[in-house]
Amino acid sequence: MNPSDTHQKTVITRVAERHWHALEDDLVVGRGEASRRPDGRVFLSVDAWHGAVFDHLAETMLRDLPRPLHTVVDEADLDLTTDWLRAGFSIRRREWEYVVPTEAGPGPAPSGVTMIGVGEAEEKPLRELDRVIRDEVEATVGWQEMPAEVRSALDPSRYAVAARAGDYVGLVRVVPLRQPRIGLIAVRADLRRRGVARALLAYALGALHRSGVETASAEVNEANTAATALFEGAGARRASSNLELVIR
């Protein structure tokens, strides 16, 4: 792969299939990377010394790669957001990052609903529920609107489940990080608005609290008003926000 001189002394070189370097006088002054997520979407990142280098890296990467292409930025980073917008990207969605206290859950389970702890659910009925929820989401907002980590393969060890009369009717995804992450809460469509989601969140938070964890994190799509109300009802506070940008 031959480098191309894009601006005065700045030379952009594609050093690997998904990596680019910007050089000035043989010094690396910027790096670009394209990473493919489990759902197949390609996300770009650029680390550059100044705006002109960013522009040349972004221009080269956009020329070399098929679209659509995505990137995620901290909304508080106005310079980086402006750089991507200048490259032709537009805002696709905003994600609120919440800090959720674990000591006070939002309420008990509705009558007839029982909880099965993280990693304790039977795999076959859990996968059946996962398929039902995926189909229901796809028929409404579209599965592409879910976080990338959720769209990837189901990992039963990370889910707690709500059951009623022997059937799995809801699930919550708990990712065991330094600050555990509530990655998804979903309930079968015919049992929504009955407190199952609140009970799942309360159960997950309570289990974390008993293990000595004081706070968890969660990321909620700004457009998902039900999820926003659920977490804020549990005492969650907004800590930051991320923007997903796309160019088609």
The secondary structure element, H or E, covering residue 135 is helix 123-139
3-state DSSP helix/strand/coil percent for the chain, to nearest 5? Answer: 30, 40, 30
Read off the pLDDT of residues 21-77 as tens digits, 9 standing for 90 and up: 999 998 999 999 999 987 788 999 999 988 999 999 999 999 999 999 999 999 999
Give the pLDDT confidence of 129-158 residue by residue, as tens digits: 999 998 988 887 666 666 555 555 688 999
Q: Please report the pLDDT score of residue 137 as a whole number.
A: 83
Q: What pLDDT score does 209 carry?
A: 95
Q: What is the pLDDT of residues 153-190, one digit of tens each?
A: 688 999 999 999 999 999 999 999 899 999 889 999 99
Give the range among 5-14, 74-83, 123-132, 159-168 with minimum mean pLDDT: 5-14
- The predicted-structure confidence for 228-239, as pLDDT tens digits, reads as follows 999 999 999 999
Per-domain residue ranges for the chain? 4-94, 98-241
Q: Do domains 4-94 and 98-241 have the same CATH topology?
A: yes
The top-level CATH class assigned to 98-241 is alpha beta
Which CATH code fits 4-94?
A: 3.40.630.30
pLDDT of residue 139: 80
Going by pLDDT thresholds of 50, 70 and 90, the confidence category of residue 210 is: very high
Cβ burial of 104 (10 Å; 0-12, 13-18, 19+) is: exposed
Question: How many Å is the Cα radius of gyration of the chain?
Answer: 22
